[in-house]
């Protein structure tokens, strides 16, 4: 039996998606539709993995009434979980304004609760307790106020003592510092990757050349997503350009998280990078076709995976 995939969400949220028909900046906008979902990048990854019938376990930190809603949601979905609960503060609400006319999402994310050193140490110890039964740990998303950007680096160092694979999906200093601990895989989008390397990357060849520097450092897999244009998948001896099939985009929320989940699932199943590239691209595309932070299912992915165009570079 395969060990668990552990998803860590230090700053979960309640996603409130408002759909409008033609956004008027500075003017009156009437909601065509409003929906509320439990979210946060790690939570989204756990939702996808659960729909894939993978052995997933969710952990992290929550606060307040909305934090209880996060836990209740996971319980209702049958996703095993263990969250440290902060006494003061409230789990944040993230607002997604989807303009159905031009298919653009504008995000407004609250900062959320504050975490002190005592709570963070309790969370780290909780994660350490779960690592012996873990094969893959997914670290993704933002961190609460009061938490150092080096927390992912610390958790990667701890996880590697148990010979586990770590997938890191973060940006800014959290990504930069996390890479110093050499996670097994990273999944920045092209803008996050450009910020990491400190320069504009105009072609796929430039992106690949820059990514190889991190492969040479010891990172095994790098996925660089480019939205509707597709994604690059790199390992030490393979590079694939995956082009997705066309979908009616209803929300980009959770699309990247679905790619991360497919990567974790593929590693758990022992799939090749070629197969993972197809699965991850299909998963991201299908999730983008859903409203709010709804995510893909394995049946949907398998039905469409053959439509992904894959080119070896």
Residue 293 CA to residue 17 CA, distance in Å, equals 8
Q: Name the nearest CA neighbour of 269 among 301, 295, 240, 239.
A: 301
Catalytic sites, residue numbers: 257
pTM of this prediction?
0.94
Judged by DSSP in three states, 297 sits in: coil
pLDDT confidence of residue 272: 97
| Cα distance between the two ends of the chain | 35
pLDDT confidence of residue 247: 86
pLDDT confidence of residue 2: 61
The token pair that represents 222 in the structure block: 């790098």
Q: Which tens digit of pLDDT belongs to each residue from 230-243?
A: 999 999 999 999 99
pLDDT confidence of residue 1: 44
- Based on C-alpha coordinates, what's the Rg of the chain? 18
Which residue numbers in the chain have pLDDT < 70?
1-2, 292-293
Count Cα neighbours of 60 within 13 Å in the Cβ-side half-sphere: 35
Nearest 5°: the CA angle 34, 37, 41 is 130
Helices (H), 93-150: 117-130
Task: Write down all domains in the chain, each with its CATH number in brackets.
Answer: 4-312 (3.40.1190.20)
- In the block, tokens 């990757």 appear at 193
């Amino acid at each position: 039996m395969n060990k668990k995939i552990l998803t860590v969400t230090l700053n979960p949220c309640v996603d409130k998606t408002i759909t409008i028909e033609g956004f008027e900046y500075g003017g009156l906008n009437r909601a065509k539709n409003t929906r509320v979902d439990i979210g946060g990048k790690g939570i989204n990854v756990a939702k996808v993995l659960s729909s894939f019938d993978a052995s997933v376990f969710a952990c992290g930190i929550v606060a307040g009434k909305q934090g209880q809603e996060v836990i209740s949601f996971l319980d209702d979905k049958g996703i095993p979980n263990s969250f440290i609960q902060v006494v003061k503060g409230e789990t944040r609400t993230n607002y997604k304004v989807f303009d159905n006319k031009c298919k653009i999402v504008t995000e407004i994310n609250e900062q959320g609760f504050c975490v002190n050193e005592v709570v963070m140490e309790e969370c780290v110890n909780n994660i350490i307790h779960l690592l012996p039964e873990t094969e893959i740990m997914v670290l993704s998303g933002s961190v609460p106020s009061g938490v150092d950007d080096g927390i992912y680096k610390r958790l990667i160092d701890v996880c590697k003592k148990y010979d586990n694979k770590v997938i890191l999906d973060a940006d800014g200093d959290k990504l930069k510092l996390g890479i110093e601990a050499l996670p097994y895989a990273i999944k920045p989008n092209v803008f996050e990757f450009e910020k990491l390397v400190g320069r504009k990357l105009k072609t796929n060849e430039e992106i690949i050349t820059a990514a190889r520097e991190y492969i040479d450092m010891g990172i095994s897999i790098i996925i660089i997503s480019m939205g509707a244009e597709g994604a690059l998948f790199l390992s030490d001896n393979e590079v694939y350009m995956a082009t997705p099939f066309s979908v009616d985009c209803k929300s980009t929320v959770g699309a990247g998280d679905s790619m991360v989940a497919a990567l974790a699932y593929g590693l758990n199943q022992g799939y090749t990078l070629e197969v993972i590239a197809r699965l991850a691209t299909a998963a991201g595309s299908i999730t983008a076709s859903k409203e709010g932070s709804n995510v893909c299912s394995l049946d949907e992915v398998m039905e469409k995976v053959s439509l992904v165009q894959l080119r070896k570079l």
